[in-house]
Structure 1
Amino acid sequence: MFSLCLTVLVSGILCGCTPGTDNDQVEKKKYSIYILGNEHREYIIQTDGFAAGNYKPETDGVKLNTDIIDRDVVIRDGFYYHLNGRNHILSKYVKTAGELKEVGTLEIRNFIVENYYWIARDTLLLTGLDQKTFTNSWYYKISVGDLKLVQSGLLPIPKPGHGFTSTSIGLTTMLDGKLFLGYTYHKQLDASNYTTSDTAYITSLSYPALKTLHTDKDTRSTYPGGDNTIQNYSFNDEAGNFYYMTCPGIALGNRTDLPTGIFRINKGADTLDRNYFFNISAAISNHAYGLWYIGNNKAIIRCERKDLYKDLNDHWDVAHFEFYVVDLLKQTKEKLNLPLDRGTRRECVIAEGDKVYIAVNSKTDGNYIWCYTPSTKSLVKGLQLSGDTDYIYRIDKNF
């Protein structure tokens, strides 16, 4: 189902630990790894490096309560932020040796997070929909140091019409002092099927007044971005130009007649660069999900293989995803020599300096963080996740 059906997700903590024990010592390692184990067990592991080693989540991580936790966490400066849709509490956590420990809370009622953006290091902007109708678009600006609400309100995104019944916000970013939002609309066709508008909307707003400045409508593709608490779909390059991917594949927009594409908003502009459109589906004959910048006008995309899966029911479990390095200016692509990957949407790429780390889930080759060096095109296995690991859900920088 599309993202608004997937984002009613919640988070929480494991059991409490006795204050003053070693289990209360906060871990402050460089990277965070979120693991899905067998029989729906989930874990968080922290590490200072991906180059080598072998971690087992059942011994090297903390086990999470799967009734109240999920992978749509926002991670920064060693803290984990998550909105629990059941009790309407945004919680702030730290990882200790024994648990994910709650250190702050803020009540936010009737709200589904679809996107987040860091306005400043201590200021988080959440955008999303009302939890009842999925038609009203809201924002919450939060000071994360003390977890206090700074500002909130309705966003000037039109409600769905013309037969469409719900909204998805797929992009939230600040460019040159203006807030940009990307969105589209959906409608349910029957109990198990839906469709998406053929139009992607990009609106620029004044900030902080949030008055509409301009709205672009584009029918070359649809569903701009996606739920970025699950997977990344956009970035700024070194020159300040903003790129984003559209996702009309069956796991998001479900408008497979339209191509996955990469679009650009040039630095200082209020509107799309109409002369730029990278047709990914034409290049790879498939759709893609996920876009990660690795520097020097190159990015990594994660592409499905429609010849290897039957339908959405086995889209998650069947190994069929490939990784490509794309040149954004030349609009060329090069496939990375990695095992076929599993899992429909994952946060699985980190670019850092001259290294790119790529998490791959393979039933035949094992679950590894691979280390890619763009300058030499070297690609080697790094850290292995074994033991109870079924999927590497996400890898993140903690700091």
Structure 2
Amino acid sequence: MKKANKFLLPVLCMGTLWTACSKDSNKPGNGGEGGGTGKTKYIIASAPIASTGVADYLLTADNLTSGTISTLGNGKEQDGSYRYYITHRNRFFSLLYGQGNPGAVTTYNLNAAGQLTKVSDFQSETVQVHTIIGDDIVTMKVPRSGNQNALIFRIDANKSQIVGEAQVNIVNLAGNGERAHFTWATQAGNKLFAPYMSIKGAAPDVFGTSFPDSTWVAVFSYPQLQLERVIRDNRTSFLGAYFNSGLVQIEDGDLYGFSGASATTAGAPASTKPSAIVRIKKDAVEFDKNYFFNLETASGGHRFATQTYFGNGKFLLEMYAEKGKTTGKKKFAVADVLTQTFAWVTGAPADIVSTSSLCNLVVGDGKTIYVGITDAEGSYVYAFDAVTAKATRGLKVDGGKITGIAKLTY
């Protein structure tokens, strides 16, 4: 079936983006790749600083805590302008973002000598939402204008086959004259929770809204993918952002939603509610009215940008550096959603140019995350500690901005 084949490979690869880029789950011999020596290499994606409109170089390193690597005469040069990265089953996927047009997916692994080796290269489509549920991968293709239907696909990762699909009318879902634009999707039990923002979907204010002070999550049955209900809240704004996860399930089964209160109208900030964290209790299909973590109050007026989960209730947050702003430079903090405590990170640069926030590396010990940071001094990998709220500078990358960090074994 052409329709299924068109989406199969890109969906399978992109579906692992959040989990694979953020969790160090590779084990020696996982996936049967390489020589099974149990040795490790780190993959560093780096965009050349001196060039614009070109894709990243892929570099390898033996550790992330010391030393220097360089893009000059090293690494694998890629084509295209925008690349996103995932690691799954001990393979590294480099996805060319097609900006609405077909892109490409290039797959790498490590050979027995620990060298990054191209496995395959194929054309693909782009989807906006992707998540892993057991053996399945669920993706959503969400139109920002024109077509009123979002497509949802359920793929069996073991069989590499689409085993279920559905569609939802996002104009009817919004029910307010705008359209629902899904920001992410998260499994909880036999439900799929999909936060969305309400957008106008028409020029000149496609991503603007007349409803900046509400939170929505569509709840679908799983694996049937049937819309069951929409749960709402009015204490903050939408969860997450475009291509940015804002709903995370932690170890006890509760879901925590992150809002930057960043809705706009005609390009200007429109949210009057605070940036905050809200909760959906385990097995519930409504927001917990007894839980509200006001991040603006805790941070002294700053708003949330992105999150990466350490474990044990602790999150590494990127917050906008200027009070009250929802754009611009960022700084780091550690937030504990269980105790509702907040601490600014020490040791990170004060004037950050860019970070690897879409593809940080979580070690899996509950307390360490590696982040690539570029500032005026250059590009370095920093290790963030959840317990001390401290960042420690490690590996230097000469000649490029770090856009992603991954780990493979061979």
> Which bracket does the TM-score occupy, shorter chain normalised?
0.7 to 0.9
| Residues 393 and 238 of structure 1: CA distance in aligned 2, closer, same or farther (over 3 Å) | same
* 2:276 alignment counterpart: 261
The answer on whether the counterparts of 2:86 and 2:93 sit within 8 Å (CA) in structure 1 is yes
In structure 1, C-alpha distance between the alignment counterparts of 2:196 and 2:262, rounded to whole Å: 16
Task: Return the match for 1:343 from 354, 376, 383.
Answer: 354
Counterpart selection for 2:152 from 126, 135, 139: 139
Given the two structures, how large is their TM-score scaled by the length of structure 2?
A: 0.74
**Equivalent residue number for residue 381 of structure 1:** 393
Preserved CA contact (<8 Å) 1:342 1:360: no
Residues 299-314 of structure 1 correspond to what in structure 2 (within 5 A)?
299-306=315-322
| Residue of structure 2 equivalent to 1:330 | 339
1:88-113 alpha-carbon deviations (Å, 9 max, x no partner): 467462257577553566x65xxx52
Pairwise CA distance, 1:232:
4.2
- Is 2:65–2:394's contact at 8 Å kept on the other side of the alignment? yes
Is 1:366 the equivalent of 2:378? yes
Listed one character per residue, the Cα deviations across residues 319-364 of structure 1 (whole Å, up to 9, x for unaligned) are x311001121232211111113223883254332165234253433
CA distance, structure 1, for counterparts of residue 278 and residue 139 of structure 2: 23
Q: 1:280 aligns with which of 295, 318, 324?
A: 295
* 1:195-274 superposed matches below 5 A: 195-196=208-209, 197-198=211-212, 199-228=214-243, 231-249=244-262, 254-274=269-289
Is 1:36 aligned to 2:47, yes or no? yes
The reply to whether residue 182 of structure 1 matches residue 199 of structure 2 is: no
Task: Say which SS state the counterpart of residue 224 (structure 1) adopts.
Answer: coil
- The answer as to whether partners of 2:231 and 2:285 remain within 8 angstroms in 1 is no
Per-residue deviation, residues 6-61 of structure 1 (Å, max 9, x unmatched): xxxxx9xxxxxxxxxxxxx9799554332222222322234453222212134442
Q: Which residue is 2:28 aligned to?
A: none
Aligned residue in 2 for 1:3: none
**Cα distance in 2, alignment partners of residues 363 and 258 from structure 1:** 32
Using a 3 Å threshold, how does the CA distance of structure 1 residues 150 and 57 change in structure 2: closer, same or farther? farther
- Rounded to whole Å, the distance in 1 between the matches of 2:359 and 2:292 is 25
Instruction: Determine the C-alpha separation between the residues in 2 that align with 1:364 and 1:81.
Output: 27
Q: Secondary structure at the match of 1:195?
A: coil
In the alignment, structure 1 residue 118 sits paired with structure 2 residue 118: no
Which amino acid in 2 is paired with 1:52? S
Deviates more, 1:95-104 or 1:329-338: 95-104
Distance in 2, Cα, partners of 1:261 & 1:253 = 20
- 1:187: how far off? 2.1
Tell me what 1:153 maps to. Answer: 166
**Matching residue's letter, 1:395:** I
TM-score by length of 1: 0.76
Aligned residue identity for 1:361: I
Deviations 1:60-83 (CA, angstroms, capped at 9, x unpaired): 42111125xx23344312141646
2:330 is the counterpart of 1:321: yes
The C-alpha deviation readout for 1:225-246, integer Å capped at 9, x for no partner, is 2344xx4434322212221212
Aligned length: 358
The answer on 1:62 being equivalent to 2:102 is: no
CA contact (8 A) 1:35 1:394 kept: yes
Evaluate the alpha carbon distance shift between residue 190 and residue 254 of structure 1 in structure 2; reply closer, same or farther with a 3 A threshold. farther
Which residue does 1:392 correspond to in 2?
402
Distance 1:120 1:46, change over 3 A: farther
Unaligned runs of 5+ in 1: 1-10, 12-24
**Closer, same or farther: CA 91–45 of 1 in aligned 2, 3 Å:** same
Partner in structure 1 of residue 20 of structure 2: none
Return the offset for 1:303: 0.6
Q: Which amino acid aligns with 1:296?
A: N
Q: 1:244 to 1:346 in 2, by over 3 A?
A: same
Contact 2:232 2:286 in 1 (8 A): no
Question: Do the aligned partners of 1:232 and 1:347 also contact (CA within 8 Å) in 2?
Answer: no
Give the distance between the partners of 2:281 and 2:268, measured in 1 at CA.
25
Shift in alpha-carbon separation, 1:132–1:56, aligned structure 2, 3 A: same
Task: Select 2:66's aligned residue among 38, 52, 68.
Answer: 52
Q: Distance in 2 between matches of 1:174 and 1:101?
A: 31
Quote the sequence identity (%). 20
**What is the Cα deviation at residue 205 of structure 1?**
1.7
- How many Å separate the matches in 2 of 1:336 and 1:278? 19
- Which amino acid letter does the alignment assign opposite residue 94 of structure 1? Y
Q: Is the 8 A contact 1:104 1:147 kept in 2?
A: no
Asked if structure 2 preserves the Cα contact closer than 8 Å seen for 1:245 and 1:261, the reply is yes
Is 1:102 aligned with 2:111? Answer: no
- Residue 383 of structure 1 and its aligned partner are, at CA, apart by 1.3
Gaps of 5+ in 2: 1-13, 15-32
AA partner of residue 239 (structure 1): D
- The letter for the 2-side match of 1:213 is E
Asked if the contact 2:362–2:369 (Cα under 8 Å) also holds between the matched residues in 1, the reply is yes
- Shift, 1:169, TM fit: 0.6
Q: What is the deviation of 1:182?
A: 0.8
